[in-house]
Amino acid sequence: MTDVIIIGGGFPGLVAAIACSKLNLKVQLFDVKDSLKDSQLHAFKPIVLNAASWQLLQALNVAKSLEPKAHGLKTMHVLRDTWSTFSFDADQRRHPHLGYVVMGSDLQNELARKVEQDQNITCFLNAKIDSIEAGAQPKIHLADKAYAARLLIVADGRQSENRTKLGMAYTQSEWDKNALVASVELEDSCEDAYLRFVSGGTAACIPTASGMHQIILAKQKSDDIFKLDDEALLVSLKEHMADICKIKKLHRHMVFPLGQGIASKVAMPGAILLGDAGFAIPPVGAQGLNLAFFDVGVLADLLAHAIENQVPFNDEKFSQRYNQTVVPHHDKLLKGVSTLMNLFDMNAIWLQSMHGLALKLANYVSPFKRYVAEFGMGFRYPMPALIRGQVPKIYPKVMRHAEVDSDA
């Protein structure tokens, strides 16, 4: 029997594996793919890792090797028009950056490399799970073999088959929106990130370490922009980004359908849902993966506490504590993103002007700016050790029978 079985080697599954290994737990990681390295899916995704996620990666010794491929974000601007800009910075005293932008393929490949080198982690690829059991004896079955563990972590994405097999409730909805992600070259380099409200959606401009910028447009599926050829798309992107940056060249682009899903409970005795399997939101606020990293931090604290006190990982108490800590954060973020998405559909000019005015006025309110910066940086409470940049410390309690033995 191993300590932890993880199903799914996406970003959260790999980070959970490294975090468990840091607690000296033995991990078996299963994925249907034939490699943990990126299969081009993430090559198009700029991932904004907030300051909290970056501290977690530092604690797990991943940040250092990723740093040359990461762009540190100091300032973010949110606007409707240039006159209505709300800007916020990192808190310079404690954190130089709001977060870091990395390309998804760099993140996936770096995490995969760490996992493959880790002596505590065994990977099983091309692994399609036939059945799964949680409860007092968590186990999975594949290819006529059973694998048992003290805890199962299910991280196999939004369409998670294994969540369904466990019978865990999940409310899913497709959005009538797509995200178009385009790699572009600018006339002049721009260090800051921008999020602009445009007709029917948002347009973001995100700098990356390679010097290229990523434009992300979230709009109704029926919007003409998704039907344009490269030449017309370049013209349209220039219009969307007018007054913010001058686009010189369009390199490539990809379209992702947007949807969301939320599990009312992400833990049951013996099993935990992690990443999009438990909570998936559109990338409009660049928050989904960051929240999954926070969840890994919470899980690491609970595992450390359980090891220290020699209590099980697979009982009702453990899953209750996990749910009570992480689920309120999922609910709060879902509400925040839904509010943001409502601002997309503000079609009346007077409403748009009021929103612009609100952004402009908010820009003068320092405590509000600090609140937004802190939220954007991902510092949520209670703050897990990994999010503080530390691996949770374990001081195993001396067992009574060991004391008796030594007396004898």
Which residues sit at the interface with ligand FAD, rule CB under 6 A? 7-13, 30-33, 45, 47-48, 127, 129, 155-157, 161-162, 179, 181, 256, 275-277, 283, 286-290
Cα separation, 274 vs 292, whole angstroms? 7
What letters, b where the CB count within 10 A reaches 16 and e where it falls short, cover 129-168?
Answer: beebbbeeebbbebeeeebebbbbbbbbbbebbbbebbeb
- The CA–CA distances, whole Å, from 380 to 14, 328, 363, 377 equal 22, 11, 23, 9
Strands (DSSP E) found in 187-340: 193-198, 201-207, 213-220, 247-262, 267-268, 271-273, 279-280
Q: Please identify, using beta-carbon distances, which residue of 13 and 207 lies nearer to ligand FAD.
A: 13
Q: Please identify, using beta-carbon distances, which residue of 11 and 86 lies nearer to ligand FAD.
A: 11
Provide, rounded to whole angstroms, the least separation between the CB of residue 140 and ligand FAD. 9
Nearest alpha carbon to residue 301 among 391, 368, 208: 391
At residue 229, the 3 state secondary structure works out as coil
Nearest alpha carbon to residue 53 among 294, 339, 394: 294
Cα separation, 117 vs 78, whole angstroms? 41
Q: Please identify, using beta-carbon distances, which residue of 363 and 380 lies nearer to ligand FAD.
A: 380
At residue 147, the 3 state secondary structure works out as strand
Provide, rounded to whole angstroms, the least separation between the CB of residue 108 and ligand FAD. 9
- Which residue is nearest to ligand FAD, using beta carbons? 10
Q: Give φ, ψ of 318 to 5 degrees.
A: -65, -50
Provide, rounded to whole angstroms, the least separation between the CB of residue 394 and ligand FAD. 27
In contact, 182 and 250? CB cutoff 8 Å: yes
Provide, rounded to whole angstroms, the least separation between the CB of residue 126 and ligand FAD. 10
Q: Please identify, using beta-carbon distances, which residue of 47 and 302 lies nearer to ligand FAD.
A: 47
Provide, rounded to whole angstroms, the least separation between the CB of residue 177 and ligand FAD. 12
Q: Hey, what are 128's tokens?
A: 């399609």
Nearest alpha carbon to residue 274 among 384, 174, 163: 163
Count of beta carbons in the 10 Å neighbourhood of residue 86: 22
Provide, rounded to whole angstroms, the least separation between the CB of residue 43 and ligand FAD. 11
Q: Please identify, using beta-carbon distances, which residue of 10 and 356 lies nearer to ligand FAD.
A: 10
Nearest alpha carbon to residue 272 among 153, 114, 405, 104: 153
Cα separation, 346 vs 56, whole angstroms? 37
Provide, rounded to whole angstroms, the least separation between the CB of residue 87 and ligand FAD. 19
Q: Please identify, using beta-carbon distances, which residue of 106 and 276 lies nearer to ligand FAD.
A: 276
Provide, rounded to whole angstroms, the least separation between the CB of residue 8 and ligand FAD. 3
Q: Please identify, using beta-carbon distances, which residue of 55 and 84 lies nearer to ligand FAD.
A: 55
Nearest alpha carbon to residue 72 among 56, 59, 58, 54: 54
Q: Please identify, using beta-carbon distances, which residue of 13 and 356 lies nearer to ligand FAD.
A: 13
Q: Please identify, using beta-carbon distances, which residue of 155 and 300 lies nearer to ligand FAD.
A: 155
Question: Strands 271-273, 145-154: parallel, antiparallel or unpaired by DSSP?
Answer: parallel
Q: Please identify, using beta-carbon distances, which residue of 45 and 330 lies nearer to ligand FAD.
A: 45
